[in-house]
Chain A
């Protein structure tokens, strides 16, 4: 749609003197499916936390012309930045439909809120279609399979109208088939959005990444296409020469 992109400049996060994110700069364009990889503790989640307002950070993170860093979490969300969490977090006691409806409703006024839902919003209907949970719409989210919960979360980002999607390990714990479906899903929705995927799964990355940023000890170690990054000797060193070529990094 428009050419807005996510631009990080020298983002830095410190916990009590411990530098978790140490001056990260990167640019993610719309339509790019950027993978953010790196060993445990590299600072991937913390970087996402900084962009979404969960932790204080210095430097700059802009989307369009808007500065995101150090704004309130819900304000950043309203600016069109959405995220998922390492552990799926949906509203378990509510149905799939209710989950999506809440995600769609941050702009609703008090009168709409105090009434019942009279019809399913169009964007919710669309999202149900896209994430393939149409038949489960009236099921409680708590009973969904792990993979379905992750899809529901992605659906929530869609109805929330997020322009920037930050996904923290979306395929962890999924079957091979589910991973593949998720990858296709991300491709479909990523065309007109800015998507950053934090992942450990190297096969998944190789299949779906259009570009990769490798984080190590809070810094950007390498950046480029999958082939470029894999060929980078520093990356091979960090992954002890084996993980980057043999798949799963985590034991």
Chain B
């Protein structure tokens, strides 16, 4: 029997593609799904559930950062821009919908000319809005990526550039009091695609939508990671110049990951708006852009679940710790970030691997 088996195996060496087992990933995914869709709604109060919904939005951004930074080596310090684009598109639609057909949003009557600017009009359409939530950040990222990566801007220069963009974006928004709410941002939404936002049932529904979206985004990057593209992205991250000599243009490889990450941030921003009830420049500038990154670093940037778990854990810790020790949190967060970057480049997801290696060598 054994010899026969050996023979058949060696007769067809071509077809064999040895793969790492995907069972642990599948189990992890199911666990995440159960925790979000079953456990959390069962044990959390409406208030806490809405809070978790907000963290889930951060986690969606984190999944994209994991792809662009963890796998693609692009230190995206300005995801607030794409988060903000998605969020403002959604917020504009909600304001217009609240104002009714041909109506004028309340803040425009207060600060503006009392007329809706032409560029707001397309967002009266729910379909245009949903498309724009993905398309606007993706197109902006494509344009930026094409300009940045083709000029071979990378490393710290890329990080500083993306951070500067986030700062500029926030400043731009602050200056537009009459058309986009300025520092106050857009808030006071009453309904979400026809659903009353004051109804607790609808608030729970928003949590489910956000969680399902997060799970979908995890599936998207999972497929990217296990595809040939995922391998190529790692190659570009580690040896960009070498990849060029194999006949690829690394800029294209990076643009794909950057655009996907931007689209995810945009979707997260759009979900954030009805869940939190406000979007303002304070949520899209430099500080939130860095905050997005911290959870990813702590959770493990190159792993599939690290960014998700890290983002939710850090946001949760921030909320509970800053309630009791407001000034302490900032230091704690900074110290945590430094420690992880210095000693745990793979984040806490790397701790397990560290133990395994110890065991093997022992």
B228 touches A117 (CB 8 A): yes
B228 CB → nearest A CB, Å: 5
Stretch touching chain A among B76-84, B153-161, B219-227: B219-227
B152 CB → nearest A CB, Å: 11
A125 touches B14 (CB 8 A): yes
User: In whole angstroms, what is the CA distance A248 to B310 when docked?
Assistant: 55
B-chain residues with CB within 8 Å of residue A82 when the two chains form the complex: 245-246
B248 touches A117 (CB 8 A): no
Q: How many positions in chain A have a CB within 8 Å of any CB in the partner chain?
A: 39
B42 CB → nearest A CB, Å: 36
Most buried by A among B229, B232, B238, B246: B246
Q: How many positions in chain B have a CB within 8 Å of any CB in the partner chain?
A: 27
B227 touches A114 (CB 8 A): yes
Stretch touching chain A among B15-23, B28-36, B48-56, B100-108: B15-23
User: In whole angstroms, what is the CA distance A90 to B15 when docked?
Assistant: 25
B-chain residues with CB within 8 Å of residue A115 when the two chains form the complex: 227-228
The A/B interface has a contact count, at CB < 8 Å, of 84
Q: Beta-carbon contacts of A78-92 to B below 8 Å, as 1s and 0s? A: 100011010001111
Nearest residue, chain A, Cβ from B232:
A102
Nearest residue, chain B, Cβ from A75:
B247
A120 touches B245 (CB 8 A): no
B244 touches A74 (CB 8 A): yes
B224 CB → nearest A CB, Å: 7
A159 CB → nearest B CB, Å: 9
- Among A72, A73, A78, A138, which residue has its beta carbon within 8 angstroms of that of B18? A138
A-chain residues with CB within 8 Å of residue B248 when the two chains form the complex: 74, 106
B-chain residues with CB within 8 Å of residue A138 when the two chains form the complex: 18
Nearest residue, chain B, Cβ from A134:
B13
User: In whole angstroms, what is the CA distance A181 to B65 when docked?
Assistant: 45
- Among B226, B231, B243, which residue has its beta carbon within 8 angstroms of that of A101? B231
Contact A94:B235 (CB < 8 A) given known A120-B16, A122-B14: yes
B246 CB → nearest A CB, Å: 5
A5 CB → nearest B CB, Å: 21
A119 touches B227 (CB 8 A): no
User: In whole angstroms, what is the CA distance A52 to B18 when docked?
Assistant: 35
A105 touches B228 (CB 8 A): yes
B227 touches A91 (CB 8 A): no
User: In whole angstroms, what is the CA distance A73 to B245 when docked?
Assistant: 6
A102 touches B14 (CB 8 A): no
A89 touches B231 (CB 8 A): no
Cβ-based interface call for B125 (8 A): no
User: In whole angstroms, what is the CA distance A99 to B245 when docked?
Assistant: 13
User: In whole angstroms, what is the CA distance A73 to B246 when docked?
Assistant: 9
A-chain residues with CB within 8 Å of residue B229 when the two chains form the complex: 113-114
User: In whole angstroms, what is the CA distance A128 to B224 when docked?
Assistant: 26
B228 touches A101 (CB 8 A): yes
Sort A-B residue pairs by CB-CB distance and give the 6 closest, nearest first.
A106-B247, A77-B247, A113-B229, A73-B244, A78-B247, A91-B235
Besides the known contacts A72-B249, A74-B249, A114-B223, 16 further A-B residue pairs in the complex with CB atoms under 8 A apart: A52-B245, A73-B245, A74-B244, A82-B246, A102-B228, A102-B231, A102-B232, A102-B235, A106-B246, A107-B247, A113-B228, A116-B226, A118-B17, A119-B15, A120-B17, A137-B18
